[in-house]
Structure formats: C-alpha cells, structure tokens
Amino acid sequence: MITIKDLNELSITQLQDTKVLIDTLVQNKMKRQFVIGTKVNVVQKTKKTAGVITKIMQSRCLVKMRDMTYRVPMTMLELRTA
C-alpha cells in the first residue's frame, strides 16, 4: 500500500504519471461494470437522478432519464442499489 510518506518522496513528474495511471484504472473498472440496460444514478452536486444506460461510448454513456436521453460522463454515474 502506498502511503502519504511514499508520495511525498516522488517528483512532480512521477506524481503526474501516477495520477494518469490511477485515472485510467478507474475509467477501465467503471466501463466493465456498466452494460446496456444497467440501472444507474446520475450524481450531481445536490441530487441523484435515476436512469438506464442505452449506449456506452468511450468516456460517456447515453442515459435515459424521465423520457429524455442524455450524454453523461461515466464519472457522474453510479450503480443504483435495490
């Protein structure tokens, strides 16, 4: 496990590379959990809106919410529980 102490010892370039790697890993894991028909919540600052994924693109999904379809970044989506 990487600690804050380990991160403090890295150079700025190494930290930027690490950030890019982490962002890529997060995006890949999110892509694997989303499939067409998955029920999700679109998370905004003050609310969550329920929807269903209708299409998956490189970094966004088409999500049908309340009779409209929106292009939503995957980072704003979370799986709907029960």
pLDDT interval class at 3 (50, 70, 90): very high
Q: What's the whole-model pTM score?
A: 0.70
pLDDT of residue 71: 97
pLDDT tens digits along 22-60? 988 988 888 888 999 999 999 999 999 999 999 999 889
Every domain of the chain and the residues it spans: 4-79
- Where would I find the beta strands (DSSP E) of 1-82? 39-43, 48-56, 60-65, 68-73, 77-79
Region 5-11 average pLDDT: 93
Architecture label for domain 4-79: Roll (2.30)
Give the gyration radius of the chain's Cα atoms.
Answer: 16
**Dist. CA 61–CA 64, nearest whole Å:** 10
DSSP symbol at 80: P
